[in-house]
């Protein structure tokens, strides 16, 4: 879990998506379920990723945002001299459900169904 106080502070203004995108992109990649979202590789690589806000909803306790996350992964081989596995990063994309508690700004992220 992590806090998103800037995003909560601007909710429900038109700037919310912009602030949320910026604040999430400042998080370490380990805060998001990027490893679980891999489809073309076997290891989420690096701390660089970009976020797209797909949709936002709220209830009495929380703000729920669906995010598209663009990042890179690699296919990890055995590192043998004759291993033919390429080590070039592969483009990855997953969707994440982000829940922000309205009282505390505590947020949690889970891979979207």
pTM over 0.75: yes
Query: Terminal CA-to-CA distance of the chain, rounded, Å?
Result: 19
Please give the pLDDT value at position 3.
98
The fold for domain 2-76+83-111 equals Nuclear Transport Factor 2; Chain: A, (3.10.450)
pLDDT, tens digit, 9 for 90 and up, residues 35-78 = 999 998 888 988 899 999 999 999 999 999 999 999 999 887 66
Q: Would you list the domain boundaries of the chain? A: 2-76+83-111
Q: Is 34 exposed, middle or buried (0-12, 13-18, 19+ CB in 10 A)?
A: buried
Please give the pLDDT value at position 67.
98
Q: Is 74 exposed, middle or buried (0-12, 13-18, 19+ CB in 10 A)?
A: buried
Confidence of residue 33 (pLDDT cuts 50, 70, 90): very high
């Amino acid at each position: 879990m992590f806090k998103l106080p800037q995003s909560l502070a601007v909710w429900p203004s038109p700037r919310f998506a912009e602030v949320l995108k910026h604040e999430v992109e400042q998080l370490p990649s380990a805060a998001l379920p990027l490893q679980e979202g891999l489809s073309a590789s076997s290891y989420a690589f690096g701390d660089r990723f970009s976020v797209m806000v797909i949709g936002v909803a709220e209830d009495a306790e929380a703000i729920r945002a669906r995010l598209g996350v663009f990042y890179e992964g690699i296919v990890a081989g055995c590192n043998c001299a004759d291993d033919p596995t390429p080590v070039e990063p592969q483009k990855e994309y997953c969707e994440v459900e982000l829940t922000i508690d309205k009282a505390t700004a505590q947020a949690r992220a889970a891979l979207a169904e």
